[in-house]
Amino acid sequence: MGPKTTAKKGRPALFDPDRVIEQVADLFWDHGYDGVSVSDITAATGLSKSSLYNRFESKDALFALALRRYHIQTVQAGANWLALDDGTDPMEKLDQLLAGPANDVHGSGDARGCFLCNTSADGLGRSPDIDTLVEDGFALLEAGLITLLTRFSPTAPPSQIRDAARLVLTSYMGLRVRSRTRPARAEFDSVRTATVQAIRLILK
């Protein structure tokens, strides 16, 4: 599943597909898959339904392209940051990760959460492409966390490191999904602190 290479045989595309994907990515991130209609997409992009379907085939295909864009620009970058040994104490970096949702909501005012986390929370099964992107995204983040936590506790058994990484990932996903309702900073902070303390105990 994916975009066709031409809108119609012998006719050049009259719009920038990358720009369209950027526009619909914002729509889907703001409102979720079910909260965006084809009419919303045509209004945001200025394209007709026929142009959209000729180029992108379906709403599912557009959503998958939007999520893939987020995967490349945000999820991969986050996983790389977690894995990077830049001299930051591993627990400090973990604290920074878990502080992100609160900083977005109470700093920049962005309560959209994480596009990847939102997609998972809203339910899978719409298309194999979407499901695969979600699983791949979480696998990338888990791998980054495993690298980070191994630096913190190099002698811990791999299974223990993996379980700790999954605990962090679950807490992070919960904070990102919860952020859509703009809870008080104290609620964010309590989860962040408890998660970091739990990881210290697990891997001590």
- In the chain, domain spans: 17-202
Average pLDDT, the chain: 90
Confidence bin at 14 (pLDDT 50/70/90): low
**β-bridge partners, 8:** 11
pTM value is: 0.87
Confidence of residue 54 (pLDDT cuts 50, 70, 90): confident
Superfamily of domain 17-202: Tetracycline Repressor, domain 2 (1.10.357.10)
Q: For the segment 62-116, what is each residue's pLDDT rounded down to a tens digit?
A: 999 999 999 999 999 999 999 999 999 999 999 999 999 999 999 999 999 999 9
Burial class (CB within 10 angstroms; exposed 0-12, middle 13-18, buried 19+) of 40: middle
